[in-house]
Amino acid sequence: MSEVKVLEILKSALLLEIRGKVFYQKTAAEAQNESVRDFFEQMADEEDGHIKILSKQYSAYKEKGKFEPQALSSFDNAVVDKVLTETFKNNVAAASFESAAVSAAMGMEQRAIDLYSQRATETVDPEEKKLYEWLTRWETLHLETLAEIDRQITETIWHDHSFWPF
């Protein structure tokens, strides 16, 4: 793949992460509940980490024409259990803005997964592949967390309004 195309993909990835960070920061700022605010701030922090890594790789590729080897952090699947307390679920379900933000964030995370997984499949550079596979796993974890929150919000709303069909 041409150097221009690789740099364009990196710029697209950076833009996705920057938009995600700003979105999560704005949602955190608007949140009325501390646990909801903390969750969205954590999501913004994780996107910021992705921005730093992508920026470093962009600079390396632009200067040297290759991706730099780097140590990438591991994943913490326990975040869902820490976040999905009854208080958190009730506060998100009660707040239509935060509930809508969860739904919108799912779309953003899916776009990132699509870009990263496609690029991981296409590249022959082992460091680039490692980077995009790592980002795919992170964004998949984000999406799964948001999907679980959305599922529980939906169930809470359906239960509160007797929307169950049985």
Q: How far apart are CA 21 and CA 118, in angstroms?
A: 22
* 130-137: long-range pairs with CB below 8 Å, 24+: 130/72, 131/53, 131/57, 131/67, 131/70, 131/72, 134/72, 135/13, 135/50, 137/75
Q: What would the pLDDT profile of 71-98 be if each residue is shown by its tens digit?
A: 777 655 555 556 566 666 666 665 578 8
Is the whole-model pTM more than 0.85?
no
pLDDT at 73: 74
Domain boundaries 3-68+78-160, corresponding CATH code: 1.20.1260.10
